[in-house]
Amino acid sequence: MKKDLLDILVEISEKMASTLKEDELLNDILEIAQEYLSVKRISIMIIEGDHLVIKAAVGLHVDYKSLKVPLGNGISGKVAITGEPIVINKGSNTNWELGYDTKSYMSVPLRIKDKLIGVLNLTDKENDYFSDDDIKIAKYIASQCAISIEKAQIYESIRRSENLQLIGKFTSTIIHDIKNLLNIVQNYVELLEIASEDESDFKEYVDSIYTELKLIHGLVMDILDFSKNQITLKTTRIELDDFMEYITKHTNIMLKPYNIDFYVDYPKGIIFYGDKDKLFRVLFNLINNAVDAVGENGQIKLKVLLENNSLIFIVEDNGKGIPTEMVDRIFDPFYTAGKEKGTGLGLAVVKDIVNAHNGTIAVESKVGEYTKFLIRLPISG
């Protein structure tokens, strides 16, 4: 027996009151909506950069975690741009390419306040016809999903603030002291580097010390930036050639104890704007993680692409990969993905730095084969 609409609304409200876990809540709401609206497939897609990605789904019998739809493409991509719902029923006069066999499709926008954040998609309606009432209910479901996402974001912000309190003012003070001492040590190492230019063996040792200091300095700055809950940029003009040579130098030094092949490819003569030190930390952090992933006899690639007015930095390794259930959590603070070492702050701060540059970061991975991080940064900073 089909439930009344009032029962559905009460059930959704109870679900929203029972948990703050975003994935669990969204799936519960979609299951309720799927049953009431009699559709085979229902999904929520969220805007990330210039693509839509599936946040939650019911009835999709494919691995949808890596699926991306460019904004403006297809029905859902169009709705994500215009903010206007699109409904296709059996017999509709339409030229839309859906990508699979279905006679009915509805896509409605998701909004948090006035901000368009994604779409709710419903396909394969019973009898292949969405009524006006179905459309109204779908819009209500979309609003509840948006509220759930907003609640989860607020909860995450509160949880992050609580973590910051755990780190505390004491930690921040200690980190400042360590940072000042490291700066002094780095200054002396740089003087040693200059003095050892004609002594290759000694210079090699100095270079190795300096690279290890960069790693320690990066860890200290990760903790300091996280404790302040903000990223302050010192934006300057950066020559990509010099920047990549600097990263390559320190990466090659770091890789000396390992039998790892490191490949670098980037366009020459490019000028962009950003915080050079923080962007170095971003890439060096990802490369350091890649070293842990590949172990001996691995490959790491650092590639830069110029696309329109953006630079795309790609760090790829052929290591052990990241399990699907962990991919969505690797940027969470204090999440170490089972690693024996590390604070769990590295990737969280990496994402914060990229966001501060008005950029985006994404990860693709397949267990036992590869992991690829893609960072898109506007050239103008």
Q: For 5-31, write each residue's pLDDT tens digit.
A: 666 667 776 766 666 666 777 778 888
What's the pLDDT score for residue 371?
92
The band of 102, judged by pLDDT with boundaries at 50, 70 and 90, is: low
The band of 305, judged by pLDDT with boundaries at 50, 70 and 90, is: very high
Whether residues 232 and 121 fall in one domain: no
Candidates 301, 315, 353; CA nearest to 331 is: 353
Better-predicted residue by pLDDT, 117 or 174:
117
Better-predicted residue by pLDDT, 60 or 163:
60
Whether residues 50 and 130 fall in one domain: yes
Whether residues 27 and 148 fall in one domain: yes
Q: Is there a domain that residue 118 lies in?
A: yes
Whether residues 131 and 253 fall in one domain: no
Supply 181's token pair: 């001492």
Whether residues 144 and 10 fall in one domain: yes
Q: Which of 147-161, 171-185, 217-231, 359-373 has the lowest mean pLDDT?
A: 171-185
Domain boundary among 135, 157, 179: 157
Better-predicted residue by pLDDT, 145 or 358:
358
Residues 23-62: b if buried by 16+ CB within 10 A, e if exposed: eebbbbbbebbbebbebebbbbbbbbbebbbbbbbbebee
Whether residues 338 and 249 fall in one domain: yes
Count the domains in the chain.
2
Domain boundary among 129, 157, 185: 157
Q: Is there a domain that residue 357 lies in?
A: yes
> What does the DSSP 8-state code read for residue 106?
E
Better-predicted residue by pLDDT, 56 or 272:
272
Angle at 20 between CA 16 and CA 26, to 5 degrees: 60
Cβ atoms within 10 Å of 103's Cβ, excluding its own: 16
What's the pLDDT score for residue 372?
94
Q: What is the pTM of this model?
A: 0.50
User: How far is Cα 40 from Cα 145, in angstroms, rounded to an integer?
Assistant: 19
Looking at the predicted structure, is the pLDDT value of residue 170 above 60?
Answer: no
Domain assignment of residue 70, given as a range = 5-157
Interval 237-273: pLDDT, tens: 999 999 999 899 888 888 877 889 999 999 999 999 9
User: How much of the chain, in percent, has pLDDT values that exceed 70?
Assistant: 66
Domain boundary among 157, 184, 213: 157
Q: Is there a domain that residue 244 lies in?
A: yes
CATH number for 35: 3.30.450.40
User: How far is Cα 310 from Cα 376, in angstroms, rounded to an integer?
Assistant: 6
Q: Is there a domain that residue 204 lies in?
A: no
